[in-house]
Structure 1
Amino acid sequence: MRLRLPLGSLFTRVLLTLVLSFGSFALITFGSALYYVLYPVVQRSTADLAAFMELSARTLTLLPEQAQQEYRAKLLDEYQVRLLSGSEPPQGLDDFFYPYVFRLSQALSRRMEQPVHMKSNLIDGRRWFWVDLQTASGTVWAGIPRDRIGTRPMIGAVVICALAVLLVLLTAAILARRVTAPLTRLSQAAEEVAKGRSPEPLAESGPRELANLARQFNETSQQVRELLADRTVLLAGISHDLRTPLTRLRLALEMLPEETDPALRARMQRDIEEMSAQIGQAVELGGTLGAGERHREDLTQLIGEVVGSRPRILWRPLGRCMHSVNAQALRRILGNLIENALRYSNDTVEIRLDCRHQTPALFVLDRGPGIPDDEREAVFRPFYRLERSRNRNTGGSGLGLAVARQLAIANEMEIELANRDDGGLIASIRLPMPHAGDDTEAVH
């Protein structure tokens, strides 16, 4: 699973804030420990070792020859300090940086009152650090092995920094998730409401402010559901009340005398049918356009059923295409788009099916006037019609696309409109992802 942290998300901003805060605190703490605790200890330790090395070198020059050998052996055995006379300097010396030895060189420089630079070599696989000390009787080389110091500053620094970074990131991620998780659930639930769905009520728990926010959202969501239900009941009631006088008008129209103007009779009949159709579409829009059960369907067969024997439609089946979909919703969506294309185009309307991906797509292509870019989303609003090309003179009540969009949203489909390069409109329906273990099957 890839971790994606968009900079605009609340979780990322909270996480970065906590990381910067905890990281700054960790750096200040680490620096303070170095300066006020470790640095004084190192200073005292190197000063003591520098004094011991200088005193050992001066003592060596004051002893007789036989006692010098015993003294060297004792220093090497008990204190891991090796002394060599100036006539037998250590071989193969070179520069080797080591933080503790650097501080030891500074301590020796202060004690000898002259610049001192320690060098290093390997003796039987062990690294030694050497310094030439000037005494009244000549030069004495003093050396200590690396393992005498016993510190591994680089490894210690890496371990401390790694643990600090890990703890800071882990703590910050936990705190950020606790702060943003309720807001993320609220945002997802708000998106569901915006799409016309009814999400599950949010848990009214946690901090007082978040619990109160969840409670208010649940109440608002319930009010939205009640308003939609009231709208459906209202439209159903209006439809019922209007269909009765429409029926009486039809009966009165049939009972008109034979000498009635046929043109007047036909015009009245068209008006009655238009009113009936508009009432039906309004009820359809206000009705339950929710999600239905999805079953594996042959999209090729489904399209063929919707197309039927309609004229001016070009549909070439290319083989079976099995996919899990709400067949009833897809029929209504595709039917509305086809009627829309036939209404505003005098040429052939083409239907295409792309079954090459996990989310098949259906396309309805016409040669009508198209839709301006700035009104491409507005046409999905209920009762919205374009001024010039899609008005009452060309038919339509402005509800077909609104019904199709609501059905698509409720059933996890996507509808998009785009103008064709050489004139006309492309209406595309992107079907939802298949259920787990239920892949799309295309057979040509």
Structure 2
Amino acid sequence: MTRAWLPRLLPKTLLTRNIVLLIVLVMLSQICALGVLMHYVQRPRVERAAAVFATYVKTMDQLLAATPPGARAALTARLDARTALPSEATVEPAPSLMLAYRTYQRSVFLDSLREHLPVDMPALWQSEGGQRLWIRMHAPADAPRAPYWIALPIPEDAQGAGLDAAILLSLGLGALAALTGYVIQRHLNQPLQQLTQAARRVSAGETPAPLPTDGPTEIATVSSAFNQMTHALQQAEATRALMLAGISHDIRTPLTKLRLSMAMAMPDGSDSSFVVAAESYLDQIETILQQFMDYAGSGEREPAEAGDLNALIERLAGDFAGLGHEFALSLAVLPAVAYRPISMMRLLMNLMQNAIVYGGSGLAVRSWATGEAAYVAVGDRGKGLTAEELEQLKAPFQRGRNARAHSGGTGLGLAIVERIARLHGGGVQFHAREGGGLEVWVVLPLIAYPATHPVPPGTPHPR
């Protein structure tokens, strides 16, 4: 039960958690320090002041009792003795958390004072109209029924003199410790933020600059391990590119020789059906090889530029129209979108080619933008697939049941689209099209570029 609600109460960021923990620890330490100060330092002082004050009161009581009646009247008048307590002396102070330590000292002083005074000499602490103690003295022998109350000043030790400054100093030191911890934690968080930004750049296919390793040992160790990982990834990428280039060259060279040998080996006037079939198979091999190359490359090294995405869509739609495939365009005004031109062209071509092959009718492309992203949707009227099947198509070598009748594919088309979209910081979504069919949405985040960044002519400016 505790594990269920405890994560909800904890702050989300490490900075906030450490600051909260530091504040709690500082508060606990200050509370413990004040508790020790009150119990082991201030309490003995107050009890000692109460004992001395009780001796003073008893001495005054004995002096009044021994004073002759004539002189006693002048003495009690000088001491402002009263036969009844004033109304403000009986008012109890309102409880206050801010003055809890004063209430504690008052209780300790009165309890200790009453222990040292006779039972028939009560003491009251007046808070209203000034701080003073009212003590009821014994009745004189010549007037046994006329006891009187005398107001005496409260000792400074009982009032907690100087304790206010100690508490304020303690709170100030606690706040200073919390502020210092906050500054230190912010300083430690800077390398973590740099590491986060570098990791995001790596996931986007970029090569970040090496992280500094001159900080604390723990942070420097993490930064050094990240730099080693980045270097290893760069080496692996270079090795993969070299290997793929070699494979492409080594496979395409014998394919070209095979085409030439077949053309030279066939005599004039012979049946060319075998050559046509063989040429078709060779084309399929080259198409599959190119798809593998496209998936392995996906344009990580291609620089991104702010450009007009609608212009690219219109150009591709015109190319497909020249091949007899008309796409209905519904393009809204888009702000400048950052994309890799060749990679984005490959993405859109794959989607439009899939719509032609697997949809066949109702071909359409539309675009629009929100405040945070630009959208491109390629739709067709083909048979729809379930959400699970559509998500599986993002993985390499996955083909939908509507692709079984089509040969020559490898199941890498949508995997290439997904990879390029993620390379641009976006993603791919599948939606059922109104009226039947399927729409594939490409979501591209809008990134603000400085004024010095080159923008192609005709690019609309963000609104």
Matched, 1:301 2:311: yes
Q: Within 5 Å, which residues of 2 pair with 1:8-407?
A: 10-11=14-15, 14-15=18-19, 18-56=22-60, 58-60=62-64, 62-63=66-67, 83-87=79-83, 89-93=85-89, 94-96=91-93, 98-99=102-103, 100-114=105-119, 116=122, 118-120=124-126, 122-123=128-129, 127-137=130-140, 138-144=147-153, 151=160, 159=168, 162-163=171-172, 165-174=174-183, 176-177=185-186, 182=191, 185-186=194-195, 188-255=197-264, 256-257=266-267, 259-261=269-271, 263-287=273-297, 289-290=299-300, 292-310=302-320, 311-318=325-332, 320-326=333-339, 328=341, 329-369=343-383, 372-374=386-388, 378-382=392-396, 384-386=397-399, 388-391=401-404, 393=406, 395-407=408-420
Structure 2, gaps ≥5 residues long: 1-8, 95-101, 141-146, 454-458
Is 2:26–2:174's contact at 8 Å kept on the other side of the alignment? no
Change in CA separation of 1:119 and 1:365 when aligned onto 2, cut-off 3 Å: farther
Take 1:158 and 1:313, find their aligned partners in 2: how far apart are those partners?
A: 78
Q: Aligned partners of 1:195, 1:419: CA distance in 2, in Å?
A: 25
1:337 alignment partner, SS class: helix
Q: Hey, what does 1:79 align to over in structure 2?
A: none
| 1:378 to 1:207, Cα distance in 2 relative to 1, 3 A | farther
Structure-2 change in CA distance of 1:212 and 1:309 (3 Å): closer
Q: Report the AA paired with residue 134 of structure 2.
A: V
Percent identity for Structure 1 against Structure 2 = 22
**Any idea what the Cα deviations from partners look like across 1:310-337, whole Å, max 9, x if unmatched?**
324221234x323141351433333333
What amino acid maps onto 1:431 in structure 2?
Answer: P
How far off its partner does 1:156 sit? 5.8
Match of 2:144 in 1: none
Q: Which amino acid in the other structure matches residue 169 of structure 1? A: A
- Partner-residue secondary structure (3-state), 1:84: coil
Q: Which moved more, 1:60-69 or 1:384-393?
A: 60-69
Q: CA deviation at 1:374?
A: 4.7
Q: 1:114 to 1:378 in 2, by over 3 A?
A: farther
Q: Secondary structure at the match of 1:300?
A: helix
Equivalent of residue 442 in structure 2, options 425, 428, 433: 428
Q: CA deviation at 1:21?
A: 4.6
- The 3 A distance-change label for structure 1 pair 189 and 54 is farther
| Deviation, structure 1 residue 110 | 1.3
Distance in 2 of aligned mates of 1:370 and 1:153: 82
Aligned-residue RMSD, C-alpha: 4.1
Summarize the Cα distance change of 1:91–1:309 in structure 2 as closer, same or farther, 3 Å threshold.
Answer: same
Distance 1:364 1:51 in 2: 99
Indicate conservation of the 8 Å contact 2:305/2:340, yes or no.
yes
TM-score using structure 2 length: 0.75
Maintained 8 Å contact 1:54/1:133: no
Q: Distance in 2 between matches of 1:392 and 1:11?
A: 57
| 1:219–1:378 CA distance, 2 compared to 1 (3 A) | farther
Q: Is the 8 A contact 1:325 1:432 kept in 2?
A: yes
What is the letter of the counterpart of residue 37 of structure 1?
V
Q: For the Cα contact (< 8 Å) 1:101–1:118, is it kept in 2?
A: no
Amino acid across the alignment from 1:95: E
Q: Could you state the TM-score of these two structures normalised by the residue count of structure 1?
A: 0.77
The residue type equivalent to 1:323 in the other structure is: A
1:158 to 1:240, Cα distance in 2 relative to 1, 3 A: same
Paired residue type of 2:40: Y
SS at match of 2:446: coil
Q: Distance in 1 between matches of 2:158 and 2:171?
A: 24
| C-alpha deviation, 1:380, in angstroms | 3.7
Q: Distance in 1 between matches of 2:329 and 2:163?
A: 73
The residue aligned with 2:143 is none
Q: CA–CA distance in 2 between the matches of 1:182 and 1:293?
A: 27
Count residues with an aligned counterpart: 425
Taking a change above 3 Å as real, the CA distance of residues 47 and 36 of structure 1, as seen in their structure-2 partners, is: same
- The answer (yes or no) to whether the contact 1:128–1:143 under 8 Å persists in 2 is no
Q: Does the aligned pair in 1 maintain the 2:298–2:420 contact within 8 Å?
A: no
Q: Counterpart of 2:248 in structure 1: which amino acid?
A: S
